Amino acid sequence: METSIDPSFSNTSYETSAPVIRFDNVGMRYDQGPEVLRDLSFDLPRGSFQFLTGPSGAGKTSLLRLIYLAARPSSGRISFFGRDTATLSREELPHLRRRIGVVFQEFRLLNHLSVFDNAALPLRVAGKKRSDYAEDVAELLAWVGLGDKMKANPATLSGGEQQRVAIARAVVAQPEILIADEPTGNVDSEMAMRLLRLFVELNKLGTTIIFATHDLQLVRLLDAPVMSLAEGHVHIRAPRSQRQAEYQRAEDEAAAGHREAFEDIGRPPLDSPDGAERDE
């Protein structure tokens, strides 16, 4: 049943360029509450596609809020494009934010604006002229299957349609980083596939993507690194192809090393730590 999407896309600039986002021992708590996130350290390379998974309440949204600058870490350091966010002033914030597109878990559409105007909002607040962006916005909405709903009020749309408006709004300004919090949570698996393909296309164009989802089926479709959150800690699993390559290399090395000593043994005596996931 599983359709595979070009497995090579996410590795184009992996490991070669400087990280767009870097977390150093980041911790986060709400007010005086317990730490929701603890001691997170990771780099997100430019142009990468990163899944973020974890059970409900694991802190996915909280982590994404840190990334889209809606919250400050209570400890540790986050840097964006090499810039420590603690030193960001309020005046700089909007400009940095325009480089980040966000699909919110709860959409946050404005129900007094049409679908078209919702999708065009980031362009509008950036001071762009309507006549300059109208065509692009219309095309984008058509692309997410909302071409005939541009005048509609978002409140009259289905959850999946609202989600697509939210996605259109997040990508319309061609952000360098795209953060999507459960962007396929309200659509059927066919639409989820289509939307995932949209994200993949954007990633191919150079957008760094962080895609939070519960849907492990979707995660398996791509050969992308997976960040999983549990009990405030993060575990990053390399892309499947890389793990397989490493496994293969280890296997080869081990095989080479062991060949002489164990000429007569058919299988190398190595056990993959990811063995369980190889036979998906």
Partner 1 sequence: MSEFEIPPPPKGGAGALLPPDAGRDRPLFIVAAILVFLACIAALGARGAWQQSQRWTEDLQTSLTVQVRPVEGGSASEDAQRAADIAAAMDGVANATARDRAHAERLIAPWLGTENIPDDLPLPLIVEIRLEPGIEAPLDALREAFDEAGINASVDDHSRWADAVRGAATRSQTLALALLALLAGAAAAVVAFASRASLAARVDVIDALHLCGAEDRYIAILFQRRFFMLGLKSGAVGAIIAVIVSLLVGTGSQAADASFFLPSWENNPFEFLLLAIAPLLAGATAALSARLAVITDLGRRW
Ligand X SMILES: Nc1ncnc2c1ncn2[C@@H]1O[C@H](COP(=O)(O)OP(=O)(O)OP(=O)(O)O)[C@@H](O)[C@H]1O
Q: If binding is defined by CB under 6 A, does position 186 make contact with ligand X?
A: no
Q: Is 32 a binder of ligand X (CB under 6 A)?
A: no
Residue 137 to residue 35: CA distance in whole angstroms: 40
Among 10, 48, 50, 61, binds Mg ion (CB under 5 A): 61
Q: What separation in angstroms does the CA of 92 have from each of 109, 126, 259?
A: 24, 13, 60
Alpha carbons within 13 A on the beta-carbon side of 112: 0
Instruction: Find the binder of partner 1 among 5, 39, 43, 97 (CB under 8 A).
Output: 97
Instruction: Annotate 201-251 with DSSP letters as a single string.
Output: HHHHTT-EEEEE-S-HHHHHHS---EEEEETTEEEEE--HHHHHHHHHHHH
Piece of 15-23, 107-115, 262-270, 272-280 that binds partner 1 (CB under 8 A): 107-115
Residue 57 within binding range of ligand X, rule CB under 6 A: yes
Residue with tokens 């009020």: 153
Q: Which of 45, 54, 59, 122 binds partner 1 (CB under 8 A)?
A: 122
Between the CA of residue 1 and those of 63, 218, 258, 280, what are the distances in Å? 32, 12, 39, 12
Residue nearest to Mg ion (CB): 61
Q: Which residues contact 94 (CB under 8 A, 6 or more apart)?
A: none
One residue of 14, 35, 39, 121 binding partner 1 per CB under 8 A: 121
62 contacts Mg ion (rule: CB under 5 A): no
CB of 196 to ligand X, least distance (A): 18
- Which residues ranging from 53 to 82 are in contact with partner 1 (CB under 8 A)? 68-70, 72
Q: What is the DSSP string of 142-168?
A: HHTT-GGGTTS-GGGS-HHHHHHHHHH
One character per residue 100-139, x = contact with Mg ion (rule: CB under 5 A):
-----x----------------------------------
From the list 20, 21, 26, 36, which residue makes contact with ligand X (rule: CB under 6 A)? 36
Binding site for ligand X (CB under 6 A): 30, 33, 36, 54, 56-62, 105
Binding site for partner 1 (CB under 8 A): 68-70, 72, 88, 90-91, 93-95, 97-98, 102, 104, 108-114, 116-117, 121-122, 124-126, 130, 134-135, 137-139, 141-142, 147-148, 150-151, 169, 173
